[in-house]
Structure 1
Amino acid sequence: MNATAAYRQASPTGSKKHAGARLQQAVRRNSLLSPAGLSEYVFARLFHGLVYAQIWEDPEVDMAALEIGPGHHLVTIASGGCNALSYLLADPARIEAVDLNPAHVAFNRLKLAALATLPDYETFHRFYGKADDSANIEDYGRYLAPVLDAETRAYWEGRTLSGRKRISIFRRRLYRHGLLGNFIGWGHRVARLYGADPRGLLQARTLEDQRRFFDSTIAPLFEKRLVRWATGQKSSLFGLGIPPQQYEALAGGSDMATVLRARLEKLACDFPLSENYFAWQAFGRGYGEGDCPLPPYLSRENFEAVRARADRASVVNVSITELLAAKPAASVDRYVLLDAQDWMSDEQLNALWAEITRTAKPDARVIFRTAAADNLLPGRVEDATLSRWDYREAESRAFHARDRSSIYGGFHLHVFRG
């Protein structure tokens, strides 16, 4: 089956009401009439739109930890879709992506359509690498719109409060949009308010230059009263995709300005700019030109392989627990949970891990990230379930150190014992 045919057969996302209900169920813990419940409601409403135009987990770390091989069946949370597509380079048999956010589902389906129908790498890179050209809108009408399912097409041709069609973000610097893109823009504006321009980091030529710029220009911002006050408000970090219940885990008993400074320091200082496209996104608000780094799926040398295998990937608007519950036993090789478990209650965690354990093939692997450093599963997931998994603690710490996105406190790898 070719990529276009496979894409046409993708199942619909479901009704907006159903999608919104799933998201509310995932986030809500408290009564709407309580301060905590109101905060959860606001976050869920914000999270219903596009949040991540680029996923913020390092796919090279993921692939090293997962040890994906030919024939493997992966289940992953989609987010921006960069990683799910990058996993295709390891030649798995199937990748099923899920997301509770209908905007992310539409975003991923557009990527699959682009791989299936855009004529060449240059056109694909202009669409997702530069993402600021009116020719992208022409290509959408010519190549993509005719192959999209009705709901996805309605999403992209629908209008925002500004009156613009959503697809227009591909000629208006895509990566400056979405909840995270807007948050990064806010950070740049605050920095300029204090006379600092974060884009200056991108002029560095060595790690020593990067360190010097961070210490002299970026680090002092976290001592400013406005920054410390703003980061102390849970709602201020909704733009990072951090729900209220994840805020405390991220803070870990410290003040949030100190935590964010440390995460940004790793991003700015621990990896050469020539290798870290996450730093380009944070400090340049987009991908660089020329030889600047790109996600694996977007690199020229990987394009034909990703395109040829794109029909092995799909995305649906359900929770990962729902998807797994519909599968036969011992049917999945690899699981990617991103940081979704930080949102979950104990009941939800146990339901998820019961399905993961039921559907896991021998030697199955699960990876996830956490806002805090520690593995959140012990003491929360029942011992009868968790004892069937081997937590690779030393490997997890090593993979975390290699993660170029630098925004999480911990990376965790579990391997199925049977």
Structure 2
Amino acid sequence: MLSVVGTLISMIVAWQNIRTPLMFMYSCFFKPLGKHQNQQSRLESFYHDQATIYDHSRGPLLRGRKTMLKLCAAQLKDQIANGTTQGKPIWIDLGGGTGWNIEQMHQSFPVDQFEHIFLVDLTPSLCQVAQRRFDLRGWKNVTVLCQDASTFQTHFPLEGRVQLVTMSYSLSMMDMYYPVVDRVQSLLSPEGIVGVCDFYVSGRTVPKNNHHGVAHYNRQCNWFTRYFWQMWFDLDHIQLGPGRRDYLEYKFGTIKSLNRRNHFIVPYLIQIPYYIWLGCPKSATTTTLYEDDTCSSTSSKSGSTSPILSSSSSPLVPISPSLSPMAYQQKQWRLDYDPELACHTQFRSYIYAFTWEDPRVDLEFLHLSKDDVLFVISSAGDNALEYALQQPKRIHCVDMNPCQNHLLELKLASISSLPYEDFWRMFGEGRHPLFQTLLHDLISPHLSGYAFQYWSQHSDRFSHKFYKTGYSGLALSIFEWWVRMNGLSKPVHDLCHAATIEEQQAIWLQHIRPAMFSPMIRKILNNPMFMWNALGVPMNQMNMFLEECTTQEYIENTLDPISSRSLLRTDQYFYYLCMMQRYHPDSCPSYLTRQGFDKLKQPGALDCFRLHTDSILNVLQTFPDAYLTRLVVMDHMDWFDPMSHDELVQEIKHMARALQPGGQVYWRSAGTKPWYNRLFEQNGFHVEALGVRKPGESIDRVNMYASFYRGTLV
């Protein structure tokens, strides 16, 4: 008897497990829809039998809904915090179906914090499920309207008062989408937000209008995907043609956009295109653009636009912003660029996850004040943040590699939005298991569309060891392998935590140095491919130091003085990071300390940043005469060929033009007497060595470069 009962229970459980997918497959693929007089009748016929199992059956298919809702919630919270939105917001969920969206949003933005929520859907059976759901939760400020999305009516006027409108896999099901989008436009308040998540297929050609560059990034579908999914979904009256999304982006400004593929049921074989998009009224921009921040009317050679900045001391006058996606971002740090250009697509990741130049030595000579306007190479942004602690007027960060600016932008956005503990876990410890949650819930309003796309696709970078990512991470991985192979794990740990200089030096000389210069290591260091991919040293720079010494001698001159200079655990965070793959609270860049973080988090402290994704020459050409006061160009001039350096000559000419009299350029080099020093002298600079490395001596805490120079415009 017990066995019979057990069998019956097993059969009931098994039926419950297969009932939902069977009903889903029958309703979607086999059930004949027949002919219907109107759209409501057709939708009711389609959803009536599956209304109660709708939420359980759609999870794997309708991807991106939670992300879209979290991004909308983050935008609303940020607007409320900044005082942009007054009072409680009103939300309309068009095509809201069973109310799943509203229940999910409650986890990010509680329902009672809305003035009112309207769920609008044309299907009676789905609306009934939604009403039962809201009644069960006791939500009195949620109203279900079983009406058409383009003509629905409420008990009080909503035109121009709604802060949020969402459409989750509903726009593609609306036969007449033009009046729906137009209605959304009339409903939104000036600071309102539109959130959409839906299936899509791209057009045949790639749009050339960079005003929509963010939305079109990674958007194109191959010919099979375009035709197959459009025909497949058409069987259920779901329209994936690009016109709907194009019209949406035509009517609204793009804030955030993600183009993804749903690996439904069979990963990598079935890839259904879907997108997540946030927009706002084109009449409203989230940043205030002034005369000294406006994009120039002439695009640079790489196709991006950089600002022309006025050196006038007169008050700044607001001007009309462009319709670039950057005009609708919460922060004004990033300037627009074309991500599809070959000069940018050649970079798949950032090269440097951390910056090697010693900012302490820089600051000894820079003598920064609140009137200084700096031009620096972005790199990983560490040194730029060190300069920002001195509160200069402006810091222009330039990098041709978009990923380097994505990294710096993430640091700026994280300082603005996160508590210190989370920021330290990300960039101090190099690991944060909740990074994706932080990205969606807190960081996203502060990121440009480009940076948000990048970190959404690479959210795993903080799942283990962040500083082992990027091309520089390859060097750390090789070093980690080499330490294990040579049984040096304990000596390396002891070196990084030595209590005295004498102890630190003894560990270096007795344990690590003998293994460091083995024949195998020398062979690796003499390989140009390793020097570039792992250490970021190009061939021209390698040739500079090879004219003066061997690779082994160069590395010896670099590393030997380090152990006797200062303690790694309290001062030399560069080498501590390389060996421990994380920072120590007592050995880290200043912006990672509690004091530095708090200073940068003060209102307006990061407003000095402008991030240019372009070449140094192109950006310099956009500046007016006598605008800059300091340039810190690191070692990038080592990368030029001494026999072919026309671009470098043009760079130096524009440095001289854009600098104020007495302005200064700082650079480091792998050579003790860089060949390009004479080019500065020929263009009106007085050149002086601030540090030239000698065997057994160090010029800074890194000591990686053979020399440090300054050129002063006479």
- State if a TM-score over 0.5 links the two structures: yes
Deviates more, 1:191-200 or 1:205-214: 191-200
Q: CA deviation at 1:11?
A: 4.2
Structure 1 residues 382, 153: CA separation in 2 closer, same or farther (over 3 Å shift)? Answer: closer
User: After the TM superposition, which residues 286-297 of structure 1 pair with which residues of structure 2 at under 5 Å, given as runs?
Assistant: 286-288=582-584, 291-297=585-591
- The residue that corresponds to 2:556 in the other structure is 261
**Is contact 1:214–1:269 with CA below 8 Å preserved after alignment?**
no
When you count strand as a share of all residues, which structure comes out higher? 2
Are 2:473 and 1:178 equivalent residues in the alignment?
no
The DSSP-based 3-state class of the residue aligned with 1:8 is coil
How far apart, CA to CA, are the structure 1 residues paired with 2:361 and 2:710?
11
User: After the TM superposition, which residues 274-353 of structure 1 pair with which residues of structure 2 at under 5 Å, given as runs?
Assistant: 274-288=570-584, 291-308=585-602, 309-345=605-641, 346-353=645-652
Q: CA deviation at 1:191?
A: 3.2
Structure 1 residues 195, 307: CA separation in 2 closer, same or farther (over 3 Å shift)? Answer: same
Q: CA deviation at 1:157?
A: 1.6
Residue type of the alignment partner of 2:618? E
Correspondent of 1:204 among 498, 501, 509: 498
User: After the TM superposition, which residues 4-403 of structure 1 pair with which residues of structure 2 at under 5 Å, given as runs?
Assistant: 5=287, 8-12=331-335, 14-18=337-341, 20-21=342-343, 48-118=348-418, 120-158=419-457, 166-197=458-489, 198-238=492-532, 239-273=534-568, 274-288=570-584, 291-308=585-602, 309-345=605-641, 346-379=645-678, 381=679, 383-385=681-683, 388-393=684-689, 395-397=690-692, 401-403=698-700
- The residue that corresponds to 1:26 in the other structure is none
Residue type of the alignment partner of 1:221? A
Structure 1 residues 326, 148: CA separation in 2 closer, same or farther (over 3 Å shift)? Answer: same
Answer 1 or 2: higher relative contact order, Cα 8 Å, separation at least 6.
1
Residue-by-residue CA offset, 1:361-387 (whole Å, 9 max, x unaligned): 1221111111122233234x17530xx
Q: CA deviation at 1:5?
A: 4.6
Structure 1 residues 401, 229: CA separation in 2 closer, same or farther (over 3 Å shift)? Answer: closer
**Is contact 2:573–2:588 with CA below 8 Å preserved after alignment?**
yes
How far apart, CA to CA, are the structure 2 residues paired with 1:5 and 1:172?
35
The DSSP-based 3-state class of the residue aligned with 1:413 is strand
Q: CA deviation at 1:148?
A: 1.9
How far apart, CA to CA, are the structure 1 residues paired with 2:574 and 2:378?
18
- The residue that corresponds to 1:30 in the other structure is none
How far apart, CA to CA, are the structure 1 residues paired with 2:340 and 2:435?
31
How far apart, CA to CA, are the structure 2 residues paired with 1:252 and 1:22?
32
What are structure 1's unaligned runs of at least 5 residues? 24-44, 159-165
Structure 1 residues 136, 22: CA separation in 2 closer, same or farther (over 3 Å shift)? Answer: closer
Residue type of the alignment partner of 2:468? R
Residue-by-residue CA offset, 1:255-302 (whole Å, 9 max, x unaligned): 3133223312233332222111112112212112xx421101111112
Residue type of the alignment partner of 1:61? V
Structure 1 residues 268, 180: CA separation in 2 closer, same or farther (over 3 Å shift)? Answer: farther
The DSSP-based 3-state class of the residue aligned with 2:560 is helix
What TM-score results when the alignment is normalised by the length of structure 2?
A: 0.50
What TM-score results when the alignment is normalised by the length of structure 1?
A: 0.84
Residue type of the alignment partner of 1:246? Q
**Is contact 2:493–2:580 with CA below 8 Å preserved after alignment?**
yes
Residue type of the alignment partner of 1:206? T
Structure 1 residues 361, 416: CA separation in 2 closer, same or farther (over 3 Å shift)? Answer: same
Structure 1 residues 59, 382: CA separation in 2 closer, same or farther (over 3 Å shift)? Answer: closer
How far apart, CA to CA, are the structure 2 residues paired with 1:287 and 1:313?
25
**Is contact 2:691–2:699 with CA below 8 Å preserved after alignment?**
no
- The residue that corresponds to 2:712 in the other structure is 415
Q: CA deviation at 1:237?
A: 1.2
What is the percent sequence identity of the aligned residues?
A: 24
How far apart, CA to CA, are the structure 2 residues paired with 1:266 and 1:306?
33
What are structure 2's unaligned runs of at least 5 residues? 1-81, 83-285, 289-329
**Is contact 2:430–2:464 with CA below 8 Å preserved after alignment?**
yes
Q: CA deviation at 1:188?
A: 2.6
**Is contact 2:357–2:634 with CA below 8 Å preserved after alignment?**
yes
Q: CA deviation at 1:70?
A: 1.3
Deviates more, 1:184-193 or 1:95-104: 184-193
How far apart, CA to CA, are the structure 2 residues paired with 1:292 and 1:137?
28
How far apart, CA to CA, are the structure 1 residues paired with 2:677 and 2:446?
45
How far apart, CA to CA, are the structure 2 residues paired with 1:319 and 1:249?
23
Residue type of the alignment partner of 1:132? R
